[in-house]
Structure 1
Amino acid sequence: MSKLQRILIVEPYYGGSHKQFIETLLPLSVNYDDFKLYDMKAKKWHWRARTSALYMSQVVDREDTKFDILFASSVLNLSEFLSLRPDLAKIPIKIIYFHENQLVYPIQAQKERDFQYGYNQFLSCLVADQVVFNSNYNRDSFLLAIKPFLKMMPDYRPPNLDDLIRSIKEKSRVLYFPIKFCHVPLMHTQTREKTVLHIIWPHRWEHDKNPESLFRILYTLKEHNIRFKVSVLGESFSQVPAIFDEAKKKLADEIINWGFCTSKDDYYQILSTANVALSTAIHEFFGVSMLEAAYCGCYPLLPARLVYPELFPAHYLYETEEACVDRLKQFADCPERIPMPLDIAFSRIDWTYIREDYMRLLSAKPLQSSTVNNHSSSNHTNYLTVPEDN
């Protein structure tokens, strides 16, 4: 086992999957003091991206700078942070971890893309020693988007842009987001719905998860007199798309769970009763909620785009809303006959299997090339199948 270095973690958005990620990493250390975490609450993401570097530069202890590794998520403008704290710029290895990238984030209708978010991430990559993405899709979409993104600049674009992109590519690697499946209880063999199709949508209530598509699909099912139940879960924030209020009224007879589950146990219990987990996302770089739902035995239906083709076999993907409706109609005929067990390679993202890769990352050791490129090494491709319902 590699020995961990002393690590400074800076997380400006400490909530949701960002918090889950860090809480997974912290137990790597026998001595908790090997890690020092500075964080900010997961609120107002846009302001965290704009201003967290200044705040963090003030609160990180100036007397405690003997770190070997600086580890930050891409919400932090690393270049700005290090310019404000040149003492921390001397840390030997600076790692930026991308849960998402702003270069391909879908903008809402009638809004212009805010150039600054993506530009901050580009600068962070230039000053980082290692750039880590949570999926191949995240990495590839970021690298391919840099050049067209910077064409938004009216003039004085960097003359050596190809060299800059190449330098980022050379220090980039992929480490899948680690999920502790051992903490996910498998209760579904006793509680799965067997008569009326139960659909679950486990996503944030924001435009990038495309709730309009979800409700079009459900409205179509209802218009065709297809019997179903639905649980619309996920966290909501201060600005909730108006479609949710409309849908709550139109689907009042079908809704059995509505809103965020504060209890993880309650959340898993709902997953254990559902037949299908549905995604309609137009923005997804990993998809923890869909993977957890699938592990709990929900048949995943996902759009054939974004990260999903990387993590799920083709028969779980749909090309159009019409195709998705057709699949749901078939499942509604007899929920008990939905194909089980699921053939998804959960082990590629299971903490038990990829823990050593993170140990190597945080021990300043090189990762094996197969892990960096595509997670194709044999110990990452074993299937962890979900038990078939009885």
Structure 2
Amino acid sequence: NFMIESQTMKILFLEPFFGGSHRDFALGFKAHSCHDVTLVTLPDRFWKWRMRGAALYFVNHIKDFSVFDAIIVTDMLDLTDLLSLAGKDLPPVLMYFHENQLSYPLAPTQRRDFHLGFTNIISAFAADRVLFNSKFHLNDFMESASRLIKQMPDFKPGWMIRQIREKAEVVYPGCQFATGLMNLKKNNIIKPLIIWNHRWEYDKNPEAFFDALDALKEKNISFSLALLGEKYDIFPDIFKQAKEKFKDEILVYGYVESRNEYETWLKKGAIVVSCAIQENFGISIVEAVRSGCIPLLPDRLSYPEIMPGPLHSKVLYQTAQDFLKKLEDMLVNYKDYLPLQKQLSSDMEHFSWETLVKQYDSILEDFLL
């Protein structure tokens, strides 16, 4: 048994959508795992075509799957295609769900492609183990999958849901920060810096954020603003309007390429906010809180799970009015919140890759037993 545990495994990691949190996760795992990880990726564009076609690329590209001890895939892959086309001698497969196509919120102009949601269900069923990035996401997936299967006119495979649940568990994604004490600076108390570090997309609900800032500005409440986060060629117009409206407050506008520079902004931040409609984990929030930002987050999605219970009444909000009231209080009385900085930052420490990678490695080692 000891021999098996100390053996280095050869892991094949297939990522059809190598960008954002998918990219961070794949690179973080490869850098921290004690196993030998081969990463094969496709660029993060045309996501529906990736779900349909990535398996064909991988099967054609990888000449011999049998040299690996295990395969990791993520939710943008049709695993059943890969398994059927790759033929015999495939090692066991671990599937990681960052998001799913059953409950992902749609922009007002979009219609849901149920066959992509079904691809997620049948891929989870085909995997040997299934991991989700939060309890919220696991439950959300199971409920949405059950609902979709109930819509089938007949021969409903309800047993699939039970079998997926039996092999599913939650392992949080690792974050890129070291363990140990953080050097938390006392930041600008006169104009506290509000951090927005989410993708510039509909599902992160920027309208609600800028509405609150409008109201604060009308009340002459001082703040400064860092609009970080990834933006694609097409992003919500509200960011262009905000650039003009908050030109006196904005210190940085747009994605910061350098990791170092990004971390420097997080350390300067006073408050990090989210108004998201969709969030299955929240790496950007965890990183900001680790760096000393006080969070203000919706009391739903994965946020109650990743924030310490005793502080929920301070850092979670219920409604738009509650958000505005709490944000105003944080800005006006920022120094009263500073004692929370250290507690919150050290609470985030257990999300570091150094700590979490042990869970992933031991799940993979189970495949050898």
State if a TM-score over 0.5 links the two structures.
yes
| Distance in 2, Cα, partners of 1:37 & 1:332 | 44
- Name the residue aligned to 2:17: 13
Match of 1:287 among 282, 290, 295: 282
Moved more, 192-201 or 278-287: 192-201
TM-score by length of 2: 0.90
Q: What is the CA distance between 1:212 and its match in structure 2? A: 1.0
Q: Which amino acid aligns with 2:81?
A: E
Is contact 1:201–1:279 with CA below 8 Å preserved after alignment?
A: yes
> Secondary structure at 2:255's aligned position in 1?
coil
- Name the residue aligned to 1:66: 67
Are 1:277 and 2:278 counterparts?
no
- Name the residue aligned to 1:257: 252
Is contact 2:130–2:168 with CA below 8 Å preserved after alignment?
A: yes
- Output aligned runs, 1:254-333, within 5 Å: 254-313=249-308, 314=312, 315-333=314-332
| Distance in 2, Cα, partners of 1:54 & 1:213 | 41
Is contact 1:10–1:37 with CA below 8 Å preserved after alignment?
A: yes
Are 1:168 and 2:164 counterparts?
yes
Distance 1:350 1:95, change over 3 A: same
- Name the residue aligned to 2:145: 146
Q: String of CA shifts for 1:160-194, please: whole Å, max 9, x gaps.
A: 31x1100000010111111242189945416x112
Q: What is the CA distance between 1:68 and its match in structure 2? A: 1.9
Is contact 2:107–2:202 with CA below 8 Å preserved after alignment?
A: yes
- Name the residue aligned to 2:240: 245
> Secondary structure at 2:50's aligned position in 1?
helix
Distance 1:122 1:135, change over 3 A: same
TM-score by length of 1: 0.86
> Secondary structure at 1:297's aligned position in 2?
coil
Q: What is the CA distance between 1:150 and its match in structure 2? A: 3.3
Q: String of CA shifts for 1:190-244, please: whole Å, max 9, x gaps.
A: 6x11211211111000111111111111111112221111111101112211111
| Distance in 2, Cα, partners of 1:212 & 1:151 | 35
Match of 1:46 among 34, 45, 48: 48
Q: String of CA shifts for 1:294-314, please: whole Å, max 9, x gaps.
A: 000000000011000101131
- Structure 2 unaligned blocks of 5 or more: none
- Structure 1 unaligned blocks of 5 or more: 368-390
- Name the residue aligned to 1:383: none
> Secondary structure at 2:41's aligned position in 1?
strand
> Secondary structure at 1:37's aligned position in 2?
strand
- Name the residue aligned to 2:90: 91
Q: What is the CA distance between 1:293 and its match in structure 2? A: 0.2
- Name the residue aligned to 2:26: 22
> Secondary structure at 2:67's aligned position in 1?
coil
Is contact 1:2–1:363 with CA below 8 Å preserved after alignment?
A: no
Q: What is the CA distance between 1:151 and its match in structure 2? A: 4.4
- Name the residue aligned to 1:376: none
Is contact 1:14–1:40 with CA below 8 Å preserved after alignment?
A: yes
> Secondary structure at 2:297's aligned position in 1?
strand
> Secondary structure at 1:120's aligned position in 2?
helix
| Distance in 2, Cα, partners of 1:41 & 1:302 | 31
- Name the residue aligned to 1:386: none
CA RMSD, 1 decimal: 2.2
Match of 1:177 among 160, 173, 179: 173
Moved more, 327-336 or 68-77: 327-336
- Output aligned runs, 1:192-207, within 5 Å: 192-207=187-202
Are 1:130 and 2:129 counterparts?
yes
> Secondary structure at 1:189's aligned position in 2?
coil
Higher helix fraction (1 or 2): 2
| Distance in 2, Cα, partners of 1:101 & 1:340 | 38
Is contact 1:4–1:359 with CA below 8 Å preserved after alignment?
A: no
Q: Which amino acid aligns with 1:160?
A: P
